[in-house]
Amino acid sequence: MQFLTRTAIVSLQLTLFSAVHGAKWTYDGPQGQDHWSERYPYCGGALQSPIDFKSDLLRFDPTLRPIEVQNYNLSPNEQLTLGNNGHSVQLSLSPMMSISSLHNQYTAAQLHFHWGSASRPAGSEHTVNNKQYAAELHVVHYNSDKYPNISTAVDKSDGLAVLGVLVEVGMFNPAFEHILKFINGIKYRDQKVKVPGFNIRALLPTRLDEYYRYDGSLTTPPCYPSVLWTVFRNPITISRKQFLSLATALYSSNAQDSAPMPLNNNYRKTQPVDSRLILVSFKERRGLHGTLTVTSPLTRKQIIQQLLVGDLGDLADEDLHKLLPSGSEKHHAGKKKDLKTQQSERLAKSKQQTLNPSLWKKSQANRHVGKLGLAENTLSYVSLEQRVSHQLKQSHAENQMVQALRDAVFPELNLKSYLECRSDLALPTIRYILQGRPTDEATELNHSLTKAMMNQRKTSTALEKDLPMTQYNGHSTATVSRKPQSQGYPHPWLLPMEWED
């Protein structure tokens, strides 16, 4: 039975992976991005990409190191494959290429582009304060410390790392010519040509120490939320002639098709940010909140430990400001106890209760919550989709797949992102963690959180009338006051993004 299950999972994974390169989705029309979630449910789910890098969501993180790439200068003797897959221009990359500055080693797999059209040179997927660039380059890597290849890594929560490069029309780019001079050989879908190796590093910005960092997804079906995104702050340029060559030379249809379909405007629209923050490795001259304005990783781990085994009454009474996103510290400024006193008392109680065997037994009643607290388990989206689909078929509720997957995956992804300072802790995640705790205490905390969140939303709305969002205590209120409530939750969910990757 176990063998059959694993075989089914591998079969489903291969089916989904091959569907990525199939003709089952487009950017517009009946199979366009507004309908992706009907066939690929993760496209309607959690932590989707691309997003808009709004100034009020940026948090400077002094621990972010410059990106270090290895073996990007390829020999002309090395043959790469350039292809038109109907969705983009894609170039295979040498397995010797890698990113060495992340927690794991990520090996390069391929790069591809997204672009606009001749009449509208605006086709980048990520935007900066709503500014859309002419195009965007994605260099896709997989976690080679943990997975043997990209097809195995693509559906894992720690599987991929993508370098994003914004492209604007300006000066001629000689590195770009190494690709463009072969573009007439791949005019139609499924055509491929061999390209001599060149210095891939020359396609990246000069400075690799200034970038945006956040947790997101593939921007094409199946939209797995498996990507650690690094989008460089400084764009590269290509000439107008180079852009027009890219935007006008290609077709998304096969050569034998009677009505050729131009390949352009192949970008996904920006997706809701929800509780995510965007860490940046640089300080703005104006408008950026000079230091990391989210709670430290150590404090965040302590908060999770408190939720798992600590006194929930304490959290309900004293520590809401650490759980709630978007600058709620200001609402608690009048507390009698200072922050250090509250924290030391809470930790003392937590240690004392952890030593209490009966309390520890209660906290371990739900083993999944224990794993959640450690946030070390890797999610496999293919197996999760298969399990959820089976459960829904048993209850004749297949049409609820998108919401069911979102509910299943969001708490764990939000927690992982929260512990790494790339998200606020959303209320659905808190409720999920509290599943293994005494009902009365959990209910008390839940009521307090909900009430505080509602009060914060009202206060934030009032403050916005008088203050710019970027000046309110160094935090954004966007995820609290500007978005409509999701049904059943005071804190909204995320919505749908990429896999040309």
- Residue 35 has a pLDDT of 95
Q: Is 258 exposed, middle or buried (0-12, 13-18, 19+ CB in 10 A)?
A: exposed
* CA nearest to 489, candidates 455, 450, 442: 450
Cross-strand pairs, 169: 238
Q: Which residues contact 128 (CB under 8 A, 6 or more apart)?
A: 52, 53, 166
Q: Is 469 exposed, middle or buried (0-12, 13-18, 19+ CB in 10 A)?
A: buried
Cα dist from 61 to 96, 225, 296, 379, whole Å: 30, 23, 10, 26
- Residue 397 has a pLDDT of 83
| Residue 383 three-state SS | helix
Domains for the chain: give ranges and CATH numbers.
16-280 (3.10.200.10), 297-481 (no CATH)
Which pTM value belongs to this model? 0.79
How many CB atoms sit inside 10 A of residue 301's CB? Answer: 15
- Residue 313 has a pLDDT of 79
Q: What are phi and psi of 340, to 5 degrees?
A: -65, -40
Cα dist from 412 to 157, 318, 376, 400, 428, whole Å: 10, 25, 10, 20, 10
- Residue 365 has a pLDDT of 36
Per-residue pLDDT of the chain (501 residues; tens, 9 = 90+): 343 333 333 333 434 444 443 448 999 999 999 999 999 999 999 999 999 999 989 999 989 999 999 999 999 999 999 999 999 999 999 999 999 999 999 999 999 999 999 999 999 999 999 999 999 999 999 999 999 999 999 999 999 999 999 999 999 999 999 999 999 999 999 999 999 999 999 999 999 999 999 999 999 999 999 999 999 999 999 999 999 999 999 999 999 998 899 999 999 999 999 889 999 999 865 444 445 566 788 888 988 888 888 888 777 776 666 676 654 333 333 333 443 444 444 444 444 443 343 333 333 334 344 445 445 678 899 999 999 998 888 888 878 899 999 998 999 999 999 999 999 888 889 888 888 788 888 888 888 887 777 766 665 454 344 433 333 223 332 332 333 333 333 322 222 223 344
Which of the residues are catalytic?
A: 87
| Both structure tokens of 107 | 């090996």
- Residue 24 has a pLDDT of 85
* CA nearest to 270, candidates 122, 168, 407, 422: 122
Contact 86, 96 (CB under 8 A): no
